[in-house]
Each structure stands twice: as structure tokens, then as C-alpha cells.
Amino acid sequence: MTYDRLVCANCASPVSEGRCPVCRANRERMQQESPLAGLNPMMLIALLAVLVAAVALLAHQTV
């Protein structure tokens, strides 16, 4: 999602210019919503646990 063309409801100027606190808050929030930022450590650990459980289940079934 690009925010270059997004217009602020508060100051009616492009959010990317950051002219008011609402713009700056929106800009910061959208910059933090990158795919890498969404992967927090807890989610990685949960994902790893699911993967280990799936492998264990698979190994158990084949034996």
C-alpha cells in the first residue's frame, strides 16, 4: 500500500508531506506496517513451534 497519494482528512494535504500531527502519525504508522515489521519475535517463535509440531506429527505417522 502506498501512502504517497493519500490525502489527510485534517489538513487536506498529502499525508507524505507531514504538515500536521495527524499526517505525521499516519505516515509513521504506515511506515511501520512493512512486512518485516509485522514479524515480531513472538510470532516467529509461535511459527517455529507450529513447524516443529507438524514435523513431529509427520515423523510419528511415517514410523
Per CB under 5 A, does 8 bind Zn ion?
yes
* Residue 20 lies near Zn ion (rule: CB under 5 A): yes
> Per CB under 5 A, which region of 20-28, 34-42, 50-58 contacts Zn ion?
20-28
Choices 19-27, 32-40, 43-51, 52-60; region in contact with Zn ion by CB under 5 A: 19-27
Residue number of the CB closest to Zn ion reads 8
CA distances from 40 to 29, 34, 45 (A): 16, 12, 9
Instruction: Using CB atoms within 10 Å of the CB of residue 48, give its burial: 0 to 12 exposed, 13 to 18 middle, 19+ buried.
Output: exposed
At 15, list the grid cell: 499525508
Residues of the shown chain interacting with Zn ion in the complex, contacts defined by CB under 5 A: 8, 10-11, 20, 22-23
